[in-house]
Amino acid sequence: MTPPLFPQKSVVFGRRKGRPLRKTKTALVKDLLPSLEFQLSPEERPPLSLFKDLKPLWIEIGYGTGDHLISQLREHPHCNFIGCEPFLGGIADFLEKLSSLNLPLENIRLFTQDARSLLKGLDTNSVEKIFLLFPDPWPKKKHNKRRFLGNDTLLELIRTLTPLGTLVIASDHDDYYESMLTLVTQNKSLILQKQGVLLNSTDPLERPLFWPMTRFERKAHQAQRQSRYMILQKCTSVLPSLS
Ligand SMILES: C[S@@+](CC[C@H](N)C(=O)[O-])C[C@H]1O[C@@H](n2cnc3c(N)ncnc32)[C@H](O)[C@@H]1O
């Protein structure tokens, strides 16, 4: 990974590196990642600087091993995508899937630092859809403050979404899900369009927005934990007050 062009304060609490990567994945990180990865710089403000064609921009925060991001890439070639994941093992898994599928690469870019820095660097009203699927729950009370979604991050998410843009959130952790639901529904800039239980089904009618199981959803299902999702839309009439 190339070093950032200017210092970005990292507040990633989880692992950045795991077990050593296999040879093929090491090669992908060395050869493919540099062409997809970008850094934020004061001169070049994404998303305009990143993509050849101007298309709706979708972002996945914490894509893990990338199953969901890959499926969205396959299903929505008319969109540009930014995947944000700081864990090297996950990035390498995603690169392996991407390279095996022969998908075009001009509409996908990767950010390998903290997603909060990414949000701060994005233009206002620039992202059509943001996925935050199974963010780390940090279940111990003393670690709750490490959770990704708090009020400041929510305001940044809302700022970057286009009017009528969509925020999709899922979690298998009841306490985190409930606290996120309270937070988002208190915010007048968002409308809760839909929420429910993520059923273990391949029927597209029973899964929101053609959404395949992520690795963490699969793990939750195996452990017989229920996963829930919410879909929110940014209103056009009220703008968040960012102080
Ligand atoms: C519980 S995993 C879920 C992964 C994937 N979404 C899934 O459902 O399988 C949470 C992911 O968020 C990533 N993550 C943690 N903090 C992050 C941050 N500040 N910015 C972006 N990603 C982050 C972790 O590296 C991890 O891959």
Instruction: Tell me the average confidence (pLDDT) per consecutive run of 10 residues in the chain, 243 residues long.
Output: 46 69 91 94 73 94 96 94 96 96 92 94 94 94 91 96 97 96 96 92 75 90 94 79 52
CATH architecture of 23-234: 3-Layer(aba) Sandwich (3.40)
Q: How far is the CA of 86 from the centre of ligand 1 (A)?
A: 8
Q: For ligand 1, pick from 10, 37, 63 the residue to mutate: most ligand atoms within 8 Å of CB.
A: 63
Whether omega before 208 lies within 30 degrees of 0, making that bond cis, reads no
Active-site hit among 93, 114, 136, 172: 136
Give residue 12's pLDDT.
65
Q: How far is the CA of 61 from the centre of ligand 1 (A)?
A: 7
Q: Fill in the amino acid letter for 128.
A: E
Give residue 52's pLDDT.
87
Segments making up each domain of the chain, as ranges = 23-234
Dig out the tokens for 121 from the structure: 């660097």
Return the ∠ at Cα 156 (arms to 176 and 143), rounded to 5°.
Answer: 30
Instruction: Find out whether 220 and 227 touch, Cβ atoms under 8 Å.
Output: yes
Q: Going by CA atoms, what residue is nearest to atom 16 of ligand 1?
A: 12
Q: For ligand 1, pick from 17, 40, 136, 147 the residue to mutate: most ligand atoms within 8 Å of CB.
A: 136
- Bridge partners of 83, per DSSP, are 60, 110
Atom of ligand 1 nearest to the CA of 219: 9
136: annotated active-site residue: yes
Of 131, 132, 128, 133, residue with least CA distance to 79: 128
Give residue 179's pLDDT.
96
Give residue 142's pLDDT.
87
CA distance 163 to 236: 5
Give residue 95's pLDDT.
97
Q: How far is the CA of 197 from the centre of ligand 1 (A)?
A: 20
Q: Which long-range contacts (CB under 8 A, 24 or more apart) does 24-31 make?
A: 24/96, 25/92, 25/93, 25/95, 25/96, 26/92, 28/92, 28/95, 28/96, 28/99, 29/1, 29/88, 29/91, 29/92, 29/95
Distances (CA, A) of 8 to 29, 31, 41, 112: 21, 24, 10, 11
Dig out the tokens for 73 from the structure: 């890439």
Q: Going by CA atoms, what residue is nearest to atom 4 of ligand 1?
A: 64
The one-character DSSP state at 142 is G
Give residue 14's pLDDT.
63
Secondary structure class of 31 (helix, strand, coil): helix
Give residue 6's pLDDT.
40
Q: Which residues contact 242 (CB under 8 A, 6 or more apart)?
A: 155, 159
Atom of ligand 1 nearest to the CA of 216: 9
Q: How far is the CA of 144 from the centre of ligand 1 (A)?
A: 15
